[in-house]
Amino acid sequence: MIVGDRKDFKEILEKLGSLRRVLVLGCNECVTVCGVGGEREVGVLAAELRLYWKKEGEAFDIREHTLERQCDYEYIDQVRGFVNDYDVILSMACGAGVQYVAETYKTKLVLPAVNTTFLGVTIEQGVWSERCQGCGACILDMTGGVCPIARCAKSLLNGPCGGSSEGKCEIDKEIDCAWQLIVDRLKESGQMERYEEILPVKDWRTSREGGPRKRVREDLRL
């Protein structure tokens, strides 16, 4: 899933400036699962804004609404009927959602309330960890199902480096060395011969270096 962090309240207030008619817009997908932008978090942010502006003696109009997704037009369109009642849409979706809402309502000011951080997994309730960088050319078959692009600090294709110590990365003793994980996993799954293969220089054109990416499936188009 896409994981994010709620922006600081102070930053959100600064971005809102003098605008007081606010549509706080949540998303029921990834940001709900990682506890940052779902219905509950929309409620918390809206409550914070109301408490702050009440304290300041200011008039305001806040509406809470959470869409099934903010990355699909069909759902974004559901707020069309009342979106113009508000000065600003405060989106609690990931960056993709914020942008699609802004693209849909071209004349509306759309502000992000979330910092999108990574593609990851739920380690346990309340703990998420990065797993993928969307490089566009998956090599997990070669690395025992552990991604060195996302999980090695240097994104080394042939590791580990000298900074690996007792299974941890030199940048932080809390961070596993991805290449230690890869070797362990290759051993466990009986694939150590994979480790002998030198991975070639990566063609980063499939990643962000190739520019913004777009995927088209003609067979799925209407």
Partner 1 sequence: MPCTGRVDALLILRTFESGVDGVYVAGCMEGECHFLRGNLRARRRVEYVKGLLEEVGLGRERVEMFNMSASQGQRFAECAREMTERIRSLGPSPVRK
Residue 93's CB is within 10 A of a number of other CB atoms, namely 33
Q: Which residue number, 123 or 216, has a Cβ lying nearer to partner 1?
A: 123
136 exposure class (CB count in 10 Å sphere: 0-12, 13-18, 19+): middle
Q: Where are the beta strands (DSSP E) in 82-193?
A: 88-91, 109-112, 114-124, 127-132, 168-169, 172-176
Question: Would strands 88-91 and 172-176 be described as parallel, antiparallel, or unpaired?
Answer: unpaired
Using the contact rule CB under 8 A, the part of the chain among 14-22, 45-53, 80-88, 178-186 near partner 1 is 45-53
Is residue 64 close enough to count as binding partner 1 by CB under 8 A? Answer: no
DSSP label of 163: T
Q: Which residue number, 47 or 138, has a Cβ lying nearer to partner 1?
A: 47
> Binding pattern to partner 1, positions 24-43, x when CB under 8 A?
----------------x--x
Number of residues located near partner 1, criterion CB under 8 A: 14
- Name the phi and psi angles at 117, rounded to 5: -115, -50
* 18, 55, 59, 217: which one binds partner 1 (CB under 8 A): 55
Is residue 8 close enough to count as binding partner 1 by CB under 8 A? Answer: yes
Least separation in angstroms between CB 50 and partner 1: 6
Using the contact rule CB under 8 A, the part of the chain among 15-23, 46-54, 78-86, 192-200 near partner 1 is 46-54
Is residue 11 close enough to count as binding partner 1 by CB under 8 A? Answer: no
* 14, 17, 44, 213: which one binds partner 1 (CB under 8 A): 44
Is residue 214 close enough to count as binding partner 1 by CB under 8 A? Answer: no
Least separation in angstroms between CB 49 and partner 1: 8
Where does 26-128 have alpha helices with state H?
30-33, 39-55, 73-76, 80-83, 95-104
134, 149 contact by CB (below 8 A): no
Residue that has been written with the tokens 């369109």 in this structure: 77
In whole angstroms, what is the distance from residue 72 CA to residue 93 CA? 12
Using the contact rule CB under 8 A, the part of the chain among 8-16, 77-85, 127-135, 152-160 near partner 1 is 8-16
* 5, 51, 121, 192: which one binds partner 1 (CB under 8 A): 51
Upstream peptide bond of 160 is cis (omega within 30 degrees of 0): yes
Residues that bind partner 1 (CB under 8 A): 8-10, 40, 43-44, 47-48, 50-52, 54-55, 57
